[in-house]
Structure 1
């Protein structure tokens, strides 16, 4: 993204988009090397989305990523059924882990959708695994 032109995105999103544009996907070696050099606050800004942590698929819908939102919603419903048969503490741990996973993938998914035009159903594209 060119920082000299007016952007419809907030400075926070511009920072994230520029970082992804310069260093690639979170699973690339250049991203990992550049990410290690960032201060803690900027690491959080690039890699974690607090709205996605708490609002999951609803936040993805708000961002306009309806395909990914439906994928997350479907997986969430399956997880809810599975968790219903597990002990409460295990269910809570799975729920927290699932929310954190969504928070960790949202920023790069939004970059792919808005900058690269990738409208896939996969909310985990380009992640570390």
Structure 2
């Protein structure tokens, strides 16, 4: 397969992620993909399905990786969530859950978004692009 990127310029973690995404797509929905996912080591599965840096830095992580369109979208979602929580004055548990919404979305979508950005040249504004099945 002719790749538009140099796989050897990627770290080992990114090579594992990219190899999985090239073979199975973003999520293990098919039996073959689930078997491939289970064949990975525990830490490789963790690295594949989440991104700690994206969780901690949210939209800024997307900007740093060159996915500024998706970062701006996430920043807009942050603004909307903050405004909704402030206007609703819900407090307590709901406020904390709302505060985790964007970091969790960023952490679970960043890996596949970066794959699409590097491997397929995606310039989409949608941070959930392709997450619910192949593009």
Q: What band does the TM-score fall into relative to the shorter chain?
A: 0.7 to 0.9
**TM-score, normalised via structure 1 length:** 0.87
* Most deviating of 61-70 and 26-35: 26-35
Q: Structure 1, residues 54-113: CA drift from partner, whole Å, max 9, x if none?
A: 100001100000000000000110001111122232111121233112100000000001
> Which residue does the alignment assign to 1:43?
45
1: CA distance, partners of 2:52 / 2:78: 18
Q: What is the correspondence of 1:19-38 to structure 2 with a 5 Å cutoff? A: 19-26=20-27, 28-29=29-30, 30-38=32-40
> Which segments of 5 or more consecutive residues in structure 2 lack a partner in the other structure?
none
- Which of 87, 107, 110 aligns to 1:106? It is 110
Whole-angstrom CA distance in 2 between matches of 1:78 and 1:7: 39
- TM-score relative to the length of structure 2: 0.83
Match of 1:123, SS state, is: coil
Could you tell me which runs of 5 or more consecutive residues in structure 1 were left unpaired when the two chains were aligned: none
Across the aligned residues of Structure 1 and Structure 2, the Cα RMSD in angstroms comes to 2.0
Q: How many residues align?
A: 127
**Are residues 6 and 96 of structure 1, via their aligned partners in 2, closer, same or farther at CA, if it must alter by over 3 Å?**
closer
Q: Match for residue 57 of structure 2?
A: 55
Distance in structure 2 (CA, Å) of the matches to 1:101 and 1:112: 16
Match for residue 79 of structure 2? 77
Per the TM alignment, residue 118 of structure 1 is displaced from its structure 2 partner at its CA by: 1.1
